[in-house]
């Protein structure tokens, strides 16, 4: 049975297209207007709000909760003080990524983890004799992402203390009569916040945010605009940039944190007091330099892109809709050297960009590769330059 989120009653009224997708069993708006580009520009130029309620939410409590999480997560949760959050991944014994998520620390023994996939059984099986309780509280809360350069100004009208939050901090506050948790987090690569609210208060909170956004260009945005902004931000997406090792058939569909661009998460890997799952395999990978891939950005050569389309008698398309398939990469000798996982034309950057995997020896910025396109039913290649991620990283995001 398809479920609806706590905000659905109001969002249904705002969705003029009635275009809905299915996300973890919930209805989720794909777009609210005919063009998702309008919603995208709200994120980049003013503010937009997105319903993130379908994310799984797991409350982890108990005397040994920190010990459990420190032994599972790649990043060291012991360094995260109450009132802060960590973006992190967890791996299998071979060091391949199972999933990613954001871990919010509320106290010494109280955590909340958000993730894209169900993980209650996995974490519960790891408890053993530890004093830990794990609950799936997904249905108890709505989550509303308010993103964009005016998001702070809008939320400050209704949520006291929001303007003082630093990047990846969170705090309990109130919007109207509703007790909420507001975090300086998001999935757009811009200044933004996420509001966690009890289910019964969700509509009142959304209405208050909408009212506060009057005159600021605030509008709802759907999944299509979100996917555009996340590529510009260089943010990975499960089942696109990576597959869970739990469900992969072969190692071709598995990836390590280092290969996924998360080598920065492994800074404390030599700490013998924290033997997290997959640690030994990851230490070997780093020591022996056995990474198969490096995750990079690509910027397509606009002149070469236009050339191949013009020679085919076509107008070069500038389509902001991300491609939903992999595009192969080759060196100048025609040898395959990697593949792009997400490709789009960036409206704000005015160029074609891609997130990609290349051989580690080709990961330096400026390295030339050739991206494969299908034009008039046959393959062409377009020159592209390797660059660092993210493509779009405004100072306001962390300021």
List C-alpha distances in Å: 325 to 45, 175, 239, 241, 393.
29, 42, 11, 11, 25
Tokens 């791996």, located at residue: 91
Q: Is residue 319 part of a domain?
A: yes
Q: What is the predicted pLDDT for the residue at 327?
A: 97
Do 324 and 188 reside in the same domain of the chain?
A: no
List 50's β-bridge partners, or say none: 145
CATH number at residue 299: 2.40.30.110
Q: Is residue 362 part of a domain?
A: yes
Query: Which two tokens mark 313?
Result: 């008698």
What averages of pLDDT result for each successive group of 10 residues across the chain (399 residues)?
95 97 97 96 98 98 98 97 98 98 98 97 97 98 98 97 97 97 98 98 98 98 98 98 97 98 96 96 98 98 98 96 94 97 97 98 98 96 98 97
Domain that holds residue 13: 8-56+139-221
| Cα dihedral 141, 146, 151, 157 sign | negative
Q: Is residue 49 part of a domain?
A: yes
User: Domain boundary at 157, 186, 221, which?
Assistant: 221
List 204's β-bridge partners, or say none: none
Q: Is residue 176 part of a domain?
A: yes
Query: Which two tokens mark 258?
Result: 């280092």
CATH number at residue 49: 3.30.1360.120
| Cα dihedral 380, 383, 388, 392 sign | negative
Do 301 and 198 reside in the same domain of the chain?
A: no
Do 158 and 298 reside in the same domain of the chain?
A: no
Give the predicted TM-score (pTM) of the model: 0.96
Q: What is the predicted pLDDT for the residue at 371?
A: 98
Q: How many domains does the chain have?
A: 2
Do 40 and 162 reside in the same domain of the chain?
A: yes
Do 175 and 36 reside in the same domain of the chain?
A: yes
Q: What is the predicted pLDDT for the residue at 352?
A: 98
Contact predicate 248/239, CB 8 Å: no
Read off the pLDDT of residues 24-68 as tens digits, 9 standing for 90 and up.
999 999 999 999 999 999 999 999 999 999 999 999 999 999 999
Contact predicate 245/41, CB 8 Å: no
Read off the pLDDT of residues 323-354 as tens digits, 9 standing for 90 and up.
988 999 999 999 999 999 999 999 999 999 99
Q: Is residue 250 part of a domain?
A: no
Phi–psi pair at 100, nearest 5 degrees: -125, 165
């Amino acid at each position: 049975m398809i479920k609806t989120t706590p905000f659905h009653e109001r969002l249904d009224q705002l969705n003029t297209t009635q275009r809905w997708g299915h996300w973890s069993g919930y209805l989720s708006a794909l777009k609210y207007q005919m063009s998702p580009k309008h919603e995208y520009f709200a994120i980049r130029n003013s503010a937009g709000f997105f319903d993130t309620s379908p994310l799984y939410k797991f409350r982890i409590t108990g005397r040994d909760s920190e010990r459990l999480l420190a032994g599972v997560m790649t990043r060291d949760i012991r360094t995260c003080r109450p009132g802060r959050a960590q973006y992190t991944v967890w791996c299998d014994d071979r060091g391949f990524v199972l999933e990613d998520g954001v871990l919010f620390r509320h106290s010494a023994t109280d955590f909340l983890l958000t993730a894209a996939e169900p993980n209650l059984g996995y974490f519960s099986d790891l408890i053993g004799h530890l004093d830990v309780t794990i609950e799936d509280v997904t249905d108890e809360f709505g989550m509303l992402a308010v993103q964009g350069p005016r998001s702070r100004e809008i939320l400050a009208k209704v949520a006291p203390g929001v303007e003082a939050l630093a990047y990846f901090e969170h705090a309990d506050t109130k919007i109207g009569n509703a007790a909420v948790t507001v975090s300086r987090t998001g999935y757009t690569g811009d200044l933004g916040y996420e509001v966690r609210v009890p289910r019964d208060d969700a509509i009142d909170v959304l209405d208050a945010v909408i009212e506060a956004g009057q005159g600021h260009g605030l509008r709802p945005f759907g999944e299509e605009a979100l996917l555009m902004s996340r590529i510009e931000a260089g943010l990975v997406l499960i089942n696109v940039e990576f597959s869970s090792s739990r469900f992969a058939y072969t190692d071709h569909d598995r990836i390590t944190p280092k290969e996924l661009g998360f080598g920065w998460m492994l800074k404390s890997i030599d700490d013998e007091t924290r033997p997290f799952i997959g640690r030994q395999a990851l230490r070997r990978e780093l020591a022996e330099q056995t990474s198969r891939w490096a995750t990079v950005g690509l910027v397509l050569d606009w002149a070469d892109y236009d050339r191949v389309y013009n020679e085919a008698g076509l107008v070069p398309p500038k389509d902001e809709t991300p491609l939903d398939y992999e595009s192969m990469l080759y060196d100048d000798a025609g040898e395959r050297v990697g593949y792009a996982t997400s490709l789009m034309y960036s409206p704000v950057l005015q160029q074609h960009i891609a997130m990609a995997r290349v051989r580690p020896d080709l990961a330096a910025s400026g390295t030339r590769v050739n991206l494969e396109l299908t034009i008039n039913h046959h393959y062409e290649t377009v020159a592209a330059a390797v660059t660092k991620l993210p493509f779009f990283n405004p100072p306001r995001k962390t300021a």
